[in-house]
A and B are shown apart, each in its own frame.
Chain A
Amino acid sequence: MLGKRGLVLICLGLVLLMVLSLNGFAQEKKWLLPPEKADVNWAAYKGTTLTIGLNKHPYTESLRPLIPQFEELTGIEVAYVILPEEEFFEKLLIDLSSGAGLFDIYMTSPMFEWRYQYAGWVEDLLPYYNNPKLTDKEWYNREDFFPLVLRANEWDGTIGGGMGEGRWNGIPVMVEFFVQAYREDLRKKWGLIVPKDYPEWYDVVTKADEQGGADFFGIVERGIRSWSTVHSGYYTGFNSWGQKELTKDLYASIDTPKAIEFTKIWVKALQDAGVPGWPTYTWYDGMESYAAGRIYMYNDCDFFAATYENPAKSTIAGKSGYALPPAGPDGRIASNLWTWALGMSALSRHKEAAWLFLQWATSYHSMIDATVKHDNFNPTRKSIWEHPDVANMVKNWGAYPGQYAENVNLMLTKYGDIRWTPNPDVTAVGDIWCDALHEAYARQKTVEQALKDSTRGINRVMRKWRIALGIEK
């Protein structure tokens, strides 16, 4: 029984809410406006030429057609180089290390930013962001970025910590987490469960492998000799078991008893239920095999769903389920995180102009197309993730409506983060670590021995930093 007063109160409350939200809308909507409306002198660096290094990526595809708009807006000329991932990083490294400074802006990621920050190759973006002459904060709306992803691109240079503090090295344009993508149709058919921990996971994939016959496999994982092999599904599990790759004293800790226990399950699953020749698989090979319907489970990026669910690219659209990664022995679920970002070269000779480009390119106005038209998942701005078109796109991905979005939200709020220890040599650590997985997989060494041998290699790489921090003489 509410009574008259109650009703009046509710009505008043509703009106108040409406007014507030309208008011909020009026205040917020500035960042929805086109760049011309921003309080930025876009034409300030007319006549400059910027060179941008881009990786082949849906985001790049969405950026390219927009560039003429930027050129018209600013009078700045933009030249760009687009290369596949490996070649891109290679060319970037040659450019940066030889001091030539061809690129003003490049695509990057936290694991690379850590190295570039120590090498002095990446510019801190905060001074540009805080410069009212260059930035309209209200229009740019930095707060719209998911804090987790923004934080991943900030580092104060403390080896072993300091993420989310200090310098702002890059503006995230996409973020991904590592989930279990599995065949929901076959799961039902074969009566399998969605594994909640790694022993279950092993059982499920081996059973699926048996059920599927000679040309069907239980799992695929990326396997090429690279840190990225460690980075995705493997590190996600490794960290779920409560493990980190480095101790506080920067010694390798990849051969702890728990790490060995997990690695044994992982390697055994690959041997018993995996595709033959696992170490040649790049992430796109794995994705392609899964999309061709030959694999039961792929523990890799969540956003591959955009390909799996696209009937033009996949034979299994609508047949996949997406689940959180299995938990560790004490119930911990933890996914690693990857994000592509745009950064500014410290060698650039047009830094202010470069900032204008960054501000323009990562504004809401420029980034919305990337997701809606070019499948750039997952978006890094809340407003885009919540955009009705985007919500509509992902609605039917997964075993039940909304499964995909639910997972991403859980990852963003609870389970996902960069699990690597911030460290400029992190890619070297990962590359060497990958050898251990290969050796154990090939049965050349036991898991213990293989991990122990890689420990030695990693310790040698990290020695320099231990000395620098006074841990080792």
Chain B
Amino acid sequence: MHKNKNNGHTEVSIFFPEAVAKIGSCLVRAKRRIVTRKTIPYLLYFPAFIATVGILYPFFRSVVLSFYEYNPTYGPAYFIGVQNYIDLFQGVTSPSFWLSLRVTLIYAFANISIQLILGLGIALLLVRTFAGYRIVRAVVLFPFMIPPIIEAMMWKLMYEPVTGIINYIGSFLGMPRIGWLGDAAWALPSVIVIDVHNFTPFVAIILLAGLQSLPKRPFEAAQVDGASSWFILKNLTFPLLKPVLYVVLLFRMIESLIMFDMIYAATHGGPANATMSIHVNAYYHGMRWTMFGTSFAFLVILWAMVFSGSFFIIRAWRKALEARMV
């Protein structure tokens, strides 16, 4: 069992120094009776699980309260069943749930598709080596390092209709002065541009790491066979990259659907509710109007949307993975 120790090389991982590994192996020996082939996966998994259980109390508290008339301005909370949800589905809240649903879905769909395509494109560009490729790789990640709320404020300065740089550049191209974030037609696309700028690097860097961990041989073989780049992309890169692609998709979907900071900082959900996503709407109902019951109902529905979306993505992802399991 200990043959592996000191076979001449002293590689030290930054993340798991050897000492940790030693202590770990001691513990493993001591607990051999507990640590069996059957229990190992659970033992490995549960610290992470337990650590996040603290979230369950606040979360379920809010879920329960979504079935209450809970508005401190009116008085103590009381149970009203699914009335909050009925109100939402009947569209009687102002702004209405259906409007917000539309905004949320457009926002998420546009974000995910643009970011995945752009991100994959950038990753494919950068996976090759060329003069200065290290710098380019580093620089491409920069926008992701700006907090979304600051990104929104900086873009707001650039979008500024009168003094902003974007309209100024536009004026050379013969564009009229556009209100961007203040224009009911342009506001949502403008916010999506901010999100794309902020999060495409995330997609690109993960796909880049994924591309680099792909086995080389199939690609070399394909190149020897003289396959076209499109053929390689479609039949080799894409299928091999699928697990990572799905995970990126998953995280971008979750984050786009529940995005709040950026939208609120950029537009407050306006103009004319053009960017009133479900999360922002819930914010108005809860944080501004103390209608917490209604607000939580919005959020629970949003949660359910993310949940079901993730469910489908994960199913597809699992299929892509199955071949690689023990």
Chain A residues close to B by CB (< 8 Å): 90, 93-94, 96-97, 115, 118-121, 215, 217, 223-226, 275-281, 289, 292, 294, 424-425, 427-428, 431-432, 434-435, 438-439, 441-442, 444, 454, 456-458, 460-461, 464, 468
5 tightest A-B contacts by CB? A277-B182, A277-B179, A457-B94, A225-B270, A279-B271
Of B94, B270, B290, the contact of A115 (CB 8 Å cutoff) = B290
Q: When chains A and B are docked, how far (Å) is the Cα of A280 from the Cα of B71?
A: 30
B12 to chain A, nearest CB (A): 44
B164 to chain A, nearest CB (A): 9
B284 in the interface (beta carbon within 8 A): yes
Q: Which residues of A contact B72 (CB under 8 A)?
A: 96-97, 119-121
Counted as pairs of residues, one from A and one from B, with CB atoms less than 8 Å apart, the total is 122
CB pair B284–A276 under 8 Å, yes or no, is no
Q: When chains A and B are docked, how far (Å) is the Cα of A439 from the Cα of B184?
A: 8
CB pair B162–A280 under 8 Å, yes or no, is no
Q: Which residues of A contact B201 (CB under 8 A)?
A: none
Q: Which of B182-202 contact A (CB under 8 A)?
A: 182-185
Nearest A residue to B71 via CB reads: A464
CB pair B289–A461 under 8 Å, yes or no, is yes
Of B183, B270, B284, the contact of A224 (CB 8 Å cutoff) = B270
Q: Which residues of A contact B15 (CB under 8 A)?
A: none
Q: When chains A and B are docked, how far (Å) is the Cα of A394 from the Cα of B183?
A: 38
CB pair B180–A277 under 8 Å, yes or no, is yes
CB pair A438–B290 under 8 Å, yes or no, is no
Given contacts A435-B95, A442-B184, contact A119 B290 (CB under 8 A): yes
Q: When chains A and B are docked, how far (Å) is the Cα of A442 from the Cα of B185?
A: 8
B92 in the interface (beta carbon within 8 A): yes
A266 to chain B, nearest CB (A): 15
Given contacts A119-B73, A275-B161, contact A444 B267 (CB under 8 A): no
Known: A93-B290, A118-B73. 9 other contacts (CB 8 A): A97-B292, A215-B162, A226-B268, A276-B179, A277-B180, A279-B179, A279-B267, A428-B289, A435-B272
Nearest B residue to A97 via CB reads: B72
Q: Which residues of B contact A97 (CB under 8 A)?
A: 72, 290, 292
Q: Which residues of B contact A278 (CB under 8 A)?
A: 179, 182, 271
CB pair B162–A289 under 8 Å, yes or no, is yes
Q: When chains A and B are docked, how far (Å) is the Cα of A115 from the Cα of B290?
A: 9
B233 in the interface (beta carbon within 8 A): no
Nearest B residue to A292 via CB reads: B163
Of B95, B162, B268, the contact of A276 (CB 8 Å cutoff) = B162
Given contacts A119-B72, A215-B162, contact A277 B183 (CB under 8 A): yes
Q: Which residues of B contact A280 (CB under 8 A)?
A: 156, 159, 161, 179-182, 267, 270-271
Q: Which of B252-295 contact A (CB under 8 A)?
A: 267-273, 284, 287-292
Chain B residues close to A by CB (< 8 Å): 71-74, 92-95, 156, 159-163, 177-185, 267-273, 284, 287-292
A429 to chain B, nearest CB (A): 9
CB pair B269–A225 under 8 Å, yes or no, is yes
Q: When chains A and B are docked, how far (Å) is the Cα of A458 from the Cα of B93?
A: 10
Q: Which residues of A contact B180 (CB under 8 A)?
A: 277, 280
CB pair B270–A438 under 8 Å, yes or no, is yes
Q: When chains A and B are docked, how far (Å) is the Cα of A119 from the Cα of B71?
A: 8
Q: Which residues of A contact B268 (CB under 8 A)?
A: 224-226
Q: Which residues of B contact A461 (CB under 8 A)?
A: 94, 289
Q: List 11 A-B contacts (CB under 8 A).
A: A225-B273, A226-B268, A276-B183, A289-B163, A292-B163, A425-B73, A425-B289, A438-B270, A438-B273, A442-B184, A464-B71
Nearest A residue to B276 via CB reads: A225
Q: Which residues of B contact A468 (CB under 8 A)?
A: 74
Q: Which residues of B contact A427 (CB under 8 A)?
A: 288-289
Nearest B residue to A432 via CB reads: B94
Given contacts A97-B72, A276-B178, A277-B179, contact A441 B271 (CB under 8 A): yes
CB pair B156–A279 under 8 Å, yes or no, is no
CB pair B182–A279 under 8 Å, yes or no, is yes
Q: Which residues of B contact A424 (CB under 8 A)?
A: 73
CB pair B74–A464 under 8 Å, yes or no, is yes
Q: Which residues of A contact B288 (CB under 8 A)?
A: 427-428, 431
Nearest B residue to A220 via CB reads: B162
CB pair B267–A223 under 8 Å, yes or no, is no
CB pair A225–B267 under 8 Å, yes or no, is yes
Q: Which residues of A contact B289 (CB under 8 A)?
A: 425, 427-428, 431, 461
Q: When chains A and B are docked, how far (Å) is the Cα of A281 from the Cα of B185?
A: 17
A203 to chain B, nearest CB (A): 23
Q: When chains A and B are docked, how far (Å) is the Cα of A53 from the Cα of B56?
A: 30
CB pair B271–A438 under 8 Å, yes or no, is yes
Q: When chains A and B are docked, how far (Å) is the Cα of A456 from the Cα of B177?
A: 34
Q: Which residues of A contact B181 (CB under 8 A)?
A: 277, 279-280
Q: When chains A and B are docked, how far (Å) is the Cα of A432 from the Cα of B177?
A: 28
CB pair A276–B177 under 8 Å, yes or no, is yes
A140 to chain B, nearest CB (A): 31
CB pair A460–B92 under 8 Å, yes or no, is yes
Q: Which residues of B contact A215 (CB under 8 A)?
A: 162
B83 to chain A, nearest CB (A): 13
A210 to chain B, nearest CB (A): 16
Q: Which residues of A contact B95 (CB under 8 A)?
A: 435, 457
Given contacts A97-B290, A119-B73, A425-B289, contact A276 B161 (CB under 8 A): yes
